[in-house]
Every structure is written in C-alpha cells, then in structure tokens.
Amino acid sequence: MISPARNNAEHFNPLLPRKPLLKPNTRYLIAPGIDSEELLADACETLTSAKTMATDFAGLVDGSHRHVLLGIAQLIMLGELAVNRALDNLEIAAEPRPLSAETETAPSRGRFYACGKTVYG
C-alpha cells in the first residue's frame, strides 16, 4: 500500500510525468518539418489580417465597443511586432559575419521584416 504522504508528494510534484488532462485536438496540426522562418512569416500574415479586420470593424461601431476593438487591434499589432523581431533575429543569425575591417566599420542600414519581406531603410 502506498503511504498517503508519498501519494500526496507525487500529486503535487510538477517534475513527475503526468497523464494529460485532455486529449489534444488533432483536427488542426502544423505539419512537422516546416522551418521556423516559414511558420513565423505565416503567423505575421495572420496577425496582419486579424489587425486589419479588427480596425475595419472598429470603424463600423461607436463608443466603448470601438475602443475595445481598437485595443484588440493594438494588442494584435504588438504580437505582430514580436513576430517580426523573431524573424529579424533568425535572419541575422543566418547571415555570415563580415570578413573585412571595412564592412565591420560601415554604418549598418536599418532593416526589419514586414511579414516575410525584408525592408531596408
């Protein structure tokens, strides 16, 4: 028989493997093997579409509902910025380092990702 103290320790120990509470939904899955850059670009495009829908819909309503929709659009935009930064970090990590002293001292141009497209500024 298992002692109550041991049973309690197993119940509250987050490091012990536990049976999942819910079976994961397999209706919508991301295919394995898709690289991170492609997934992030797709997430960026999805967030851009959601932001556009929320802003467009905010133009159709008045008062507090409009403020809520504009707040949602702003939150979506913040998520889009985070995804863009992750995409930029992937691109920077993939770029080879400059070899000459001339390229190391040259001022870097501003660069950011706009949903899968690199934009130089």
pLDDT in tens, 51-74: 999 999 999 999 999 999 999 999
At a CB cut-off of 8 Å and minimum separation 6, what does 57 contact?
Answer: 69
CA–CA distance, 111 with 108 (Å, rounded to integer): 9
DSSP, collapsed to helix, strand or coil, labels residue 33 as coil
φ/ψ of 112, rounded to 5, equals: -150, 165
CA–CA distance, 85 with 51 (Å, rounded to integer): 17
Cα–Cα nearest to 111, from 61, 64, 33, 95: 95
pLDDT in tens, 6-53: 556 556 666 666 666 777 677 877 888 888 889 999 999 999 999 999
The structural domains of the chain, with segments of one domain joined by +, span 45-92+114-118
Look up the pTM and report it.
0.57
